[in-house]
Structure formats: structure tokens, C-alpha cells
Chains A and B, each alone.
Chain A
Amino acid sequence: MSRENIEQFWIGGVLRWIGIVLFFLACAFPFYYMLLLSFRSIQSVLVEPANLIPDWELVRTLQTYKEVLKPVDQGGQGFVVFIRNSLGVSLVTTAITLWVSISAAYAATRLDFRGKNLVNWGLLLVYMIPAIVLAIPLFVLYSKLGLRSDVPRRLLGLIVVYLSSTLPVALYMLRSYFQTIPVELEEAALIDGCTRLEALRKIVIPLSLPAIASTGLYVFMIAWNEFLYALLFLLEERNAWTLPLGVKQLDTQEVPKTMLMAGSVIITIPVIVLFTFFERFITGGLTAGGVKG
């Protein structure tokens, strides 16, 4: 056999398949393990740690999940409140971000104005600033402004902070997409008497729906997964917690680890569902925006 044939067989064949299987297992198994532990009782996990079969009785009754979702005064962990907060914060952040950034991205690609370069570079630079550097002054500022008092104000404050990081990303992603749409289409509309904003609404937006979808999904996921700012602004007020804080608080000695895993599954499911349905958009968005992670 020639060297080429040997390499084709061992490296291109055997080694490649081993690699594929290893990567697959490394990425899939932790999520299976998470699900598995949420469907076993902590006693049986301690007795038989290597058992990879769920307890079907717990799968049927969803007991661990019920415990996690139940309100605190009924002895549960109150996750329903966290889910509501997380959904609210993420959806509002996504809606405002899209609303503002679509027209802003249009302005940044199609219109001429003084300071255009400054705006474009400034937004990119903002992307590079560490969150923890901004966290301290914002924490102090929010304390002084009373945005760390009641639940609505805390959540409002959180949304505003999220906007400061999602707006530049969304603008950047949409801008790079708008640049690929031929100007001629709009020029025709402008000559026919459309205003700029009508051209945006009737031509650019319908043509960019895939990009808008992927930007929206991306922004939603940023807000849904965010941990540091939620920790800083919400910690003392349990009713304002978002899901990441809720899951973090399950990480104590008093709570069985199976419940920690159930909480982790709850926070992961929406992301995986969105990903499964809109994979094309999300994958496109990841590479288009150079999305932070």
C-alpha cells in the first residue's frame, strides 16, 4: 500500500470516525447527564452513581420539576417567578433592541452624515469593553438613582443595562447584512416618491427578515443567559431574580443536586428549542456578528 492509501485508511477513515464519535459524546453526554440526574432521586444517585437509566416513576410524575417550580411558601423553589422575570426581561430587551437597531443600522449603512465613522468604530469598541469594568460604576449609579429598590425598577434597570450591550451587537449584525442589499432597489422606490423610512419599511425590512430573525434570537439568548449584571442588580430581591440567579441559588448544601439539575434543564430548554427550530438563523448569526461568548 502507498503512503497515501495508508493515511486515507487510518487517518481519513479510522481516526476520523473515532474523532467524530468523541466530539459527539463530549457535546451530547453532559446534556443527557443533566436530564438524567433531574429524573433520579438523590438517594439512588448516591447509591448507584454509574447508573445511566432514569427513574421512570420520576419521569412520569415530574416530581423534581414540581419541587423546583412550586412557590417558596409551599416549600418549593419559586421558579415560576424566575421564568416570568427572565421571559419578560429577555422579550422586552429583544423588542426594544430590534426596534431601535433596525432603523439605526439603516442610517449607518445608507445615510451620509458627519461622524459616521466615529459611530461605527465607537460601537465596535464598546464591544471590547469588559462587562466587569462597567459593572462597578453602574452598580454605584443604580444604587444612587434608586434603581435597586423595588422589583419593577430593578428589572427596568437590568433591561437598560442589557440594551447597552445588545444594541451595539445588533447594530453591527444588521449593518453588515444591510450592506449586502443592492441600493438600486431603494433608489427605485425613492424615485417613485417613497420617503427613506417607507423604503426601509417596504423594501429593506422584508428583504432582511432572516438577518432580523437571527439578530433577534441572538439578543434574546444574550439576555436569557446573562448572569453578572443580574447578580449585581437583583441579588437582594428574590422576587426580581431571573433564571440564572435562580439556578445559582440551588447550588447549596441544603438543596439536593437533582434539583440543581432540574433547574439547569429548565433554563436550557428554551434555548435548545429555539436553536432546533431556527438553527439556520442562529448559526448564521454566530458567525456574522462574531457573537460574544
Chain B
Amino acid sequence: MSLFSRGINSSATPRLTLAQQEERLAYRLLAVPVTVVVLLVILPLLWNIFLSFQELRLIELQKLSLWAAEFTTRNYEKVVGARGFITLLRTTLIYSLFGTILPLLLGLTAAVLARDAFPGRGVFRSILLFPYIAPIVATVFVWRMMFNAQFGIVNEWASMLGYPRLSYFSQRYVDLHLFGTTLKWPLALSMVIIFSGWRYFPFSFLFYLARLQALPEDLYEAAKVDGATLTQRFWYITLPQLRVVTATLVLLRFIWTFNKFDDVFLLTGGAAGTEVITVKIYDWLFGRADVGAAAALSIVLAIILAVLLFIYFRYFFVEEEV
């Protein structure tokens, strides 16, 4: 009876079903993060597109209004038509490509070394994560000290061995004598890439190590019985099992390197042939106080990244082990 009357009451004053209540609760709990993301990511993104079509100098920010806007494509002509745009693009791609490959190779090597237990492996693994967790400013500056032309320890050791002192982060080219020919090797750019290799390998190291340790041991036992040697086991058993994790790591590392600003900005300031798009955007914004051009170049950056990601997903990405 009581149940029945309650049912009547609830139909008189419409109550929410459990599902509706849960939906309301979900919206309430998600309200803050969604609002923050919409206000600080989605809207700025749209506004950035708007800014990229405006003639806007840094000092004129207060004058900016949404209503009296005049649209112009001059910013895009300016940044894409600027002298050295092709070089900028090439440097960015070289940096992103090798800044992806090198950390992966180093991470894989370290993971292979640390897969089987040895005394001190725990400490080894912890120390190997230091470059990744330390603040970027600290790692950049200690590298610049180590490679300092005047007193850097690397130059000191090199000169003991009879090599010339170099300004590793401010010298564009170094002459490399190989097999009787002289090669102009891009020194500063290589150094920036080597820095990326050092700083970001721990990330792929952890992923590769987790994957390697999950590989079934009997696979290796069976291969041993069949007479496969150490290198053969690595080549034919281990490597094929790493395809999926590699595909994911390539994707993440490429996106992050392509978008990276801090490293190049702090290491070289974009000098000596290391200028990448992100640093150029900063240069447009503050060096030349041209907000519109900076916005336009950042849109160009986003478009290039989107195109590259599309190509990658379309032709290269592997999702499942075969």
C-alpha cells in the first residue's frame, strides 16, 4: 500500500528517474573542467584564428575590438612569404624527426640493457629518469655549461685529446673531415637534437622496458632450443613485439617535439641554424611586436601538424599486434 501511494505521489510531482539523476550529477561534476577547457582552450583557439586575420601590433592591444574588425590575409602572406620560411620549415622537420628517432633508439637500448636483473638495477633505472623529470631550465643550463667554449668540461676533455674547442650551441657549422672530403656539419642543430635524445629517452625507456618485461619467457626458451643466438632472438623475437609501442611512441614524441618551444629557445634562442617554428612565433610576438603575424604562424604550425598526423594515421600507424 505504502509503495503504491508513493508511486502516485511521485507521478503528481514529477521526480527524476535514477538515470536522469545520474546524468545531472555527471554534468555537475564535469562542469568545471569542461568550462575551463572551453574558456581557455577552445575559445582562445577560435580567437587565435580571428587574430591571425587582423593587423595587430603588440602596443595596440587595448584598441582591439571584435566589432570594428577588418579582415586581412596580409599576416599569412607575411609569415609564409618571409625570407627563410623554407629553411624554417626544414629545420623544424629535421628537429622533430631526429628529436623523435633519437630518444626512441636510446630508450630502446637502455630498456634492453635493463631488462634482465643485475646488481643495482633499481638505482640504474631511477637515475635514468633524472633527465626527464628535472626542470627544463636546469637541464638546459647545465648542458650549456658542460659545452661552454671557455671552461666547459667537454671542451676541456676534447682539448686534452687534441681536438679543437668549439662553441657547440652557437656555431652553425663545423668542418668534418671524412674520407678525404670536408663536410659542413650543422653543429648547433645536432647538439639541440642530441639534447632531446638525452632529455626525452627516459620516456620511451619506461614504455619499452614495461613491454620487454611482459614478453613471455617460453618464447625465448623455444627459440634457444631451436638454436637462435642472442642477436637472432633480439632481431626476430623481441623487435617484432615492439611495433605497437613504437608506433605510439613515435606519435607522441613527434607531436611533442614539433610543438616544443622551451628547449630550442633556452639552448640557442633560435640562433646558429636552430630556429624552429615555435621560436619564430615568439620572435614575431615579442621581437617584432606583431601579434597578427605570430597568430598566423601559429595557425600554420597547427595546420602542418594536422596534415602530418593525418598522413601518419593513414599510412603508418599500427594499432594491434599481428
Q: Which residues of A are interface residues toward B (Cβ below 8 A)?
A: 3-4, 7-8, 11-12, 16, 19-20, 23-24, 26-28, 30-31, 33-34, 37, 45-46, 49-50, 100-101, 103-104, 106-108, 111-114, 116, 119, 122-123, 126, 128-141, 143-144, 160-161, 163-164, 167-168, 171, 196-197, 221, 224-225, 227-228, 243-244, 247-248, 251, 257, 260-261, 264-265, 267-268, 271-272, 275-276, 279, 282-283, 286-287, 290-293
Contact = CB atoms under 8 A, between A and B. Distances in A.
Given A46-B151, A247-B138, A287-B206, A227 B41 contact: no
Given A111-B26, A292-B256, A3 B229 contact: yes
A136 B281 contact: yes
Nearest to A258: B145
A7 B230 contact: yes
Given A107-B29, A272-B130, A290-B248, 9 more contacts: A4-B229, A11-B230, A20-B124, A49-B155, A49-B156, A113-B27, A130-B278, A164-B41, A227-B136
A134 B40 contact: yes
Candidate in B30, B51, B258 with the most chain A CB atoms within 10 angstroms: B30
Candidate in A27, A123, A171 with the most chain B CB atoms within 10 angstroms: A27
Interface string B115-144: 000100000101111111111111101110
Contacts of A108: 26, 30
B48 A275 contact: no
B305 interface: yes
B143 A30 contact: yes
A129 B160 CA distance: 47
A271 B295 contact: no
Contacts of A49: 150-153, 155-156
Nearest to B47: A137
B102 to A, nearest CB: 13
Contacts of A133: 45, 48, 298-299, 301-302
Interface residues of B, number: 91
Given A49-B151, A261-B141, A12 B230 contact: yes
B23 A111 contact: yes
Contacts of A160: 36, 40
B232 to A, nearest CB: 9
List the 10 closest A-B pairs by CB distance, nearest first: A130-B259, A164-B40, A137-B44, A264-B138, A107-B29, A111-B26, A113-B26, A49-B151, A7-B230, A107-B26
A168 B33 contact: yes
Interface string B4-37: 0000000000000001001101110110111011
Contacts of B135: 224-225, 243-244, 247, 264, 267-268, 271
Nearest to B122: A279
B200 A261 contact: no
